[in-house]
Structure 1
């Protein structure tokens, strides 16, 4: 198999194309108005029942799971740049269709298409960063992208509430507009970085990935992490309500997640690049588990706020390094597919498993048991990730050697 990789920057300054991706992520998140308000739009603007609106929102989620698989495959087959352009332009069209749809059939189709197009760019962006940068620079780069996402989302959640009062239709059009702007940034500033692979030597993704034991174990650990993480958006509001706290308090408490990330991330990103990646990943998952475990002994707003701050610190470490770890695992010719499969299987499945397991545990076992289980799972993930560290180090060294030789 012959693989020709692009020339990558090796200085401490990140390349112009990376900052274009950073701007793209920020703009895209600044306009992410529709999904947080989709259920309200469907119930208030379209008169659907809460159950039907929730099912439509689930259709968006189903599209997102498929999206990363498709996006990873496309980024390896047709190119990173083309995949991102299709994703952003396609998202704009799907949002406009969803905002104007009247029949339930069209609403279902448009909702699934929004999910399908909306996450198409993610593995392509991650693969482009890995193509552009040396392995030692990737932690910093992925951390900066994570910060841009949270900065944009923090602003959008506030402004979306104001815009929704003017009219839900405005949310769809502005969200679509920011997707177009993101596409234009890619079009004008991001080159194609996909390594050139001889067609005769191109390998199929799944047969390679399914034989990759280290990769599969990593996905299993990340499903566990995502199961804990999504308690913050499913079980936590129910637990706080059960303690007699109003819904507005949950909104303020969960807003600390974005605030802490925006404030802390820029100051720790360079420090995180110096740490051992598997150990940082293990420690971060432990902190997230213990942060949720704090919920077992609190019942006040400030107690829950402390819990959110603790698990957000863990999230910062996790988000900074996870992309780099999976990039180290990925064969160069299957990088996009590996990253897409990792995102779809870990967070895709975790976003389904977490809310189901957490809410049922809360209902049948109680809040204390549910939060203690999160803490215990965090300890298990910590031990599992440390046990996998030697294999991850070996793969990272092998990937770096292979990239240096091309």
Structure 2
């Protein structure tokens, strides 16, 4: 991969105060992510619902999250980035409290969907705000720092939530809501509106007609769905495969925990170097590493072999996550940047649905060896597709930079 001049970071410039406010919001929001990992346990143990019903309620949160990506992107272009984030954080706090106090099934269903819908509105708005605030050469560093904050916060929250849950599940809802309010206050006091203003006499274009004519963007979205399908094998097929090999669930927790450890340790060391590579091609190579990392499952059957697999695909995830937001920001039209980022996030959500459906079924009917080989082959396919699309992405990036 050769370095591309447009992606060179501006090392001399300090990132603006508003960016660091967004960084704090990401960290606080993830530090308080107590409810979702323990939602099924809460519903089965505290509300005495069946496992199937509890799983369906958790799926309602996921469905809300998928819709949220698109809605959040649309809102950030129409009403503003700052307003969208405020709706997200303060609205999520209310939804969490209502879910924690809901007794009837209709109320539980409605509030679960609301938590998913409101909880992810900020994602596209944050991504668009970073692109608004920073020059193209600074975005890789910024998105990398946000990714690191997310993983640091989530690593802490998953450990502390287990301790807090022993004191009562109700506490998780209130603390999660409290951190959401804190994040909202940070946005209210420290983040200005950054949505680019339209030229006088012009109106904002509708999103979908533009997207449907954008073959480069549609190609990228399809590739991301493939990548997300691979990535979510780590939370669906991997624990089942380890169980088939006779490994206890506690070992799965240790092995998957390496993902956060690798990211928290290595990502700050690698982000400056990653910013010097050709972004679209780095995305392709990173996705290939993730696919091949999961593919190691075809030949390993003990805990350290699975641990090695996790370490390999975690390194690929670092490269992917550090630059993918910048790539989508580079190709998005300025006036529809929020909507583009929202559809990008939505594509990842689709993969989060497809992956847990495809992987476990393949494991059941084809066995672990063929399943993991299939995952690796999917990684090769999306790598080839991404590499083939890279020249067009670079041309669009240069065009947008010249007319910005």
TM-score range, shorter chain: over 0.9
For the residue of structure 1 that corresponds to 2:193, the secondary structure is coil
Task: Specify the alignment match of 2:232 in structure 1.
Answer: 230
How far is the alpha carbon of 1:12 from its aligned partner? 2.3
Residue 196 of structure 1 is matched in structure 2 by: 197
Provide runs of 4+ in structure 1 moved above 2 Å: 9-12, 198-201
For the aligned residues, what is the CA RMSD? 1.0
Does 2:354 match 1:373?
no
5+ unaligned residues in a row in structure 2: which ranges? 1-9
Partner of 1:329: 331
Q: State the alpha-carbon separation in 2 of the partners of residues 220 and 101 from structure 1.
A: 38
Match of 1:69 in 2: 70
The SS at the match of 2:177 is: helix
- 1:201 is displaced (CA, Å) by 2.5
Within 5 Å, which residues of 2 pair with 1:141-160? 141-160=142-161
Kindly provide the CA deviation profile for residues 366-386 of structure 1, in whole angstroms up to 9, marking residues without a partner as x: 000000111111111111111
Change (3 A) 1:213 1:162: same
The equivalent of 1:298 in structure 2 is 300
For the residues of structure 2 that align with 1:343 and 1:271, how far apart are their CA atoms?
A: 25
Aligned to 1:167: 168
**1:131 and 2:145 equivalent?**
no
Measured in 2, the distance between the counterparts of 1:125 and 1:184 equals 15
What's 2:352 paired with? 351
Q: Distance in 2 between matches of 1:97 and 1:115?
A: 13
Counterpart Cα distance in 2 of 1:10 and 1:257? 28
- Using the size of structure 2 for normalisation, the TM-score is 0.96
Q: Which moved more, 1:193-202 or 1:346-355?
A: 193-202
- Residues 10-65 of structure 1 deviation map (CA, whole Å, 9 limit, x = unaligned): 95211111011000100000000000000000000100000000000000000001
- The equivalent of 1:307 in structure 2 is 309
Match of 2:184 in 1: 183
1:202 deviates by 1.3
Q: Is the 8 A contact 1:39 1:57 kept in 2?
A: yes
Question: CA–CA distance in 1 between the matches of 2:102 and 2:207?
Answer: 36
> Corresponding residue for 1:318?
320
Report how many residues are paired. 394
Provide the secondary structure at the position in 2 that maps to 1:157.
helix
Shift, 1:318, TM fit = 0.3
Task: Find the residue that maps to 1:202 and give its secondary structure.
Answer: coil
| Deviations, residues 305-324 of structure 1 (Å, cap 9, x unaligned) | 00000000000000001100
1:362 aligns with 2:363: yes
| Aligned counterparts of 1:57 and 1:190: Cα–Cα separation in 2 | 32
Q: What is the deviation of 1:262?
A: 0.4
Q: Determine if contact 1:90/1:117 at 8 Å carries over to the other structure.
A: yes
CA distance in 1: counterparts of 2:173 and 2:203, whole angstroms: 44
Q: Which residue of 1 aligns with 2:37?
A: 36
Aligned to 2:5: none
Query: CA separation of 1:122/1:99 partners in 2, compared to 1, >3 Å: closer, same or farther?
Result: same
Counterpart selection for 2:257 from 255, 258, 267: 255
Cα displacement string for residues 289-308 of structure 1 (whole angstroms, at most 9, x for unaligned residues):
00000000001000000000
CA distance in 1, matches of 2:264, 2:167: 28
Report the Cα distance in structure 2 between the residues aligned to 1:210 and 1:315, rounded to whole angstroms.
28
Q: CA deviation at 1:348?
A: 1.2
Q: Distance in 2 between matches of 1:174 and 1:47?
A: 22
Other structure's SS at 2:213 match:
coil
Three-state SS of the structure 2 residue aligned to 1:201 is: coil
